[in-house]
Amino acid sequence: MEKQKLSFKVNNDEYEVYIHPKTLLVEVIRDHLGFTGTKRGCETVSCGACTVNVNGASVKSCSVLAIQCEGMEVTTVEGLEKNGKLSPIQKSFLDHGSYQCGFCTPGMLMSASAFIAEAKDPTKDQIKESIEGNVCRCTGYNSIVRAIEAVTQGKYKEE
């Protein structure tokens, strides 16, 4: 099957890759571009470890054809830091101990950052709902919810 060209932006850089149309977004991100922060978990749209943001909206990259992202802007966990400084949500995760094994963390951070970008003074329940698509088997979620809450309360500023 012939390869096709995919032009899109990942973490603010332009990329052109030649891929089979069946290639999944997670495969392009990890195997073609080398952004291995994004994890492959269940590969059945269940666990959320592969979450990246496409045009600002979170998606599960194990279940998106990469070719459908032509012309779009993808952000992975590597794209959250600015000028070598961690983003507010990353700093907050560190301070609140919001991870143990760390496998779900990149996906959690992407869901959380998409939520924080549009949430106005959210309730605790809304924060919990914002990570409904991400499974964590270590923390019990409370430390993650506290970390997101701290950012939405303005306790962390962009550096």
Partner 1 sequence: MINDFHYLKPASLKEALAMYAEHDDCKVICGGQSLLIVMRQGMVTPEYLLDIKHVKELSYIKFEEKDGLRIGAATTHREIEKSDIIEKKYPVLVAMEEKLASIQTRNWGTIGGNIAHADPAGDPGPVLIALNAEIKFGNSSGETTVPLDEFFVDYFETKMEHGDLALEIHVPTPEPKFGCAYQKFNLLDSDMGIVAAAASVTLNADGTCKAARIVLGNAGPIPLRVTKAEDLLKGKKLDDALFAEAGKIASEDCEPVADIHASEEHRRHVLGVLTKRMLKKAFEQAQKAA
The verdict on 40 binding partner 1 (CB under 8 A) reads no
- By CB under 8 A, the residues from 79 to 138 that bind partner 1 are 111, 114, 129-130, 132-134
The verdict on 30 binding partner 1 (CB under 8 A) reads no
Contacts with partner 1 by CB under 8 A: the residue count is 29
- The phi-psi region of residue 134 (left if phi > 0; otherwise alpha if psi is between -120 and 50; otherwise beta) is beta
With CB under 8 A as the contact rule, the residue among 11, 38, 58, 92 that binds partner 1 is 58
Helix axes 105-118, 142-152, angle to 10 degrees: 30
The verdict on 77 binding partner 1 (CB under 8 A) reads no
Fill in the DSSP letter of residue 71.
T
CB of residue 83 to partner 1, shortest distance in Å: 28
With CB under 8 A as the contact rule, the residue among 9, 17, 36, 65 that binds partner 1 is 65
SS3 content of the chain, % helix, strand, coil (to 5): 35, 20, 45
How far is the C-alpha of 67 from the C-alpha of 17, rounded, in Å?
Answer: 10
The residues, any chain, with a CB within 8 Å of residue 101's CB and separated by 6 or more, are 137, 138
CB of residue 41 to partner 1, shortest distance in Å: 12
How far is the C-alpha of 126 from the C-alpha of 132, rounded, in Å?
Answer: 10
Q: Tokens at residue 22, please?
A: 């069946």
With CB under 8 A as the contact rule, the residue among 18, 21, 123, 153 that binds partner 1 is 21
Contact residues for partner 1, defined by CB under 8 A: 1, 4, 20-22, 24, 43-45, 48, 51, 54, 57-60, 63-65, 67-68, 70, 111, 114, 129-130, 132-134
